[in-house]
Amino acid sequence: MISTVDGYTYLDAVLSLVPLAKIVPSNDGTYEHAEWLDERTAPTAQAVTDKLAELKAVEPLFYLRQERDKRLKETDLWGLEDYPTTAEQTAYRQALRDITDTYSSYLDVVWPVKP
């Protein structure tokens, strides 16, 4: 899972390539010095590097979704059947759900205004 401090690491890439891989992380934070304990074939360093680049490319979208989900949770009450919801509240929640169709990074998003 992505770390909010470091972002994706080589371990995320390895686990994407070999789910539930048995690996002991290296002390220096590199894949080359990690200890592979899994009976399956270890991915090459290039495969790990490529996968890590792929994961980092979508990292801003992860943070965008995280903030979007937080804002949706703040308004979950509005989605209940027996809760009186205005058209503006419904439009706001829909705009939040659609935010990833328009933006790919939390850095450039223009958030809808909460009614």
CB 40 within 8 A of CB 19: no
Extract the tokens encoding 110: 């223009």
**71-112, pLDDT tens digit by residue?**
999 999 988 888 898 999 999 999 999 999 999 888 889 999
pLDDT over 80 (residue 56): yes
**7-44, pLDDT tens digit by residue?**
788 999 999 999 999 999 999 889 999 999 999 999 99
pLDDT of residue 79: 80
User: pTM for the complete prediction?
Assistant: 0.62
pLDDT of residue 75: 94
